[in-house]
Amino acid sequence: MTLGNDWFTEIHADAGSAFSLKLTKKLHEEQSAFQRIEVFATEDYGNLMTIDGLYMVSGRDNFLYHEMMTHPVLFTHPAPKKVVIIGGGDCGTLREVLKHPGVEAAWQVEIDERVTRVSEQFFPELCERNNDPRAHLLFDDGIKFMKDAAPGSIDVVIVDSTDPVGPAEGLFTEAFFRACFRALGDKGVIVQQSESPLYHGKILKALHAAMRAAGFGQTQTLFFPQPVYPSGWWSCTMAGKNLDLKTFRETDARNKAFETVYYNADIHRAAWAMPEFFKRLLEG
């Protein structure tokens, strides 16, 4: 990360690339018990949150990530009622989950409470469902939460984590996915943010292997744009328990009773398309 001349630049040295946003003001800075949290006002991307010098969420493009992390997996499950979000401290994923009227309860398990409190201050639009009676905000270790969850008690797990380093490293392991497999009921589904297919192929290949080794019979990566993240091309990866990830409640998705900015049934179907290099990556 570099900060100078009113620009915030995140450098990806291994890929020989960088992404910059023009800033107008620093709004907040603190060191929590876990990480450094900063918020900036930008010229064209709304407010920007960074964690440990890396882009986390912007007001302009967060809908891409939050919608693709939630609606595909919720429309894949036949009738999701109990949802657990691991991470997701900015609360945008929680907001999207609770747009689904059939969801009875959603637990957001975020290890760093300060991410949520800062989001409530500077990204109130992402936190508008925090007082929904179905929402349960827990500030705890997500790995322990899933390990302690009752067998078969959860329909959908959404792992809205940071990169697989530091506190989030354990969320990309076979042991964690085994705990999720045990906690999920019949037809249960997990989705994990899975980095850039262009820059992080080794992480993605290892993620598929870990999910399958944990007992999931099928895995499926979905692709979507995300300008502020490395390469501008991002992904999430689903793993299913006793169900086909290439089917979804398409009629319900087409007739959804809520608004989205990006997601619709056609986007869902299109996100299954797998580039040739990615097929070779998983097969090799």
- Domain residue limits, the chain: 2-58, 62-283
What does the alpha-carbon distance between residue 198 and residue 98 come to, in Å, rounded to a whole number?
A: 31
The percentage of the chain sitting over the pLDDT mark of 90, rounded to a whole number, equals 93
Instruction: Flag whether pLDDT at 168 surpasses 90.
Output: no
> Amino acid identity, residue 97?
V
Secondary structure (3-state) at 59: coil
Q: What pLDDT score was predicted for residue 4?
A: 56
Average pLDDT for residues 166-177, to the nearest whole number? 83
Instruction: Flag whether pLDDT at 173 surpasses 70.
Output: yes
Q: What pLDDT score was predicted for residue 2?
A: 52
Percent of residues in the chain assigned helix, strand, coil, to nearest 5: 35, 30, 35
2-58: CATH number: 2.30.140.10
Instruction: Flag whether pLDDT at 3 surpasses 80.
Output: no
User: What b/e sequence results for 104-124 when a residue is b if at least 16 CB atoms lie within 10 Å of its CB, and e otherwise?
Assistant: eebbbbbbbbbbbbbbeebbe
Q: For all residues of the chain together, what is the average pLDDT? A: 95
Q: Read off the pLDDT of residues 178-216 as tens digits, 9 standing for 90 and up.
A: 999 999 999 999 999 999 999 999 999 999 999 999 999
Q: What pLDDT score was predicted for residue 172?
A: 87
Q: Read off the pLDDT of residues 5-21 as tens digits, 9 standing for 90 and up.
A: 699 999 999 999 999 99
Q: φ, ψ for residue 227 (rounded to 5)?
A: -55, -40
CATH of the structural domain 62-283, one choice from 3.40.50.920, 1.10.600.10, 1.10.3720.10, 3.40.50.150: 3.40.50.150
CATH topology match: 2-58 vs 62-283: no
- Catalytic positions, written as ranges: 160
What does the alpha-carbon distance between residue 278 and residue 221 come to, in Å, rounded to a whole number?
A: 10
Q: What pLDDT score was predicted for residue 161?
A: 87
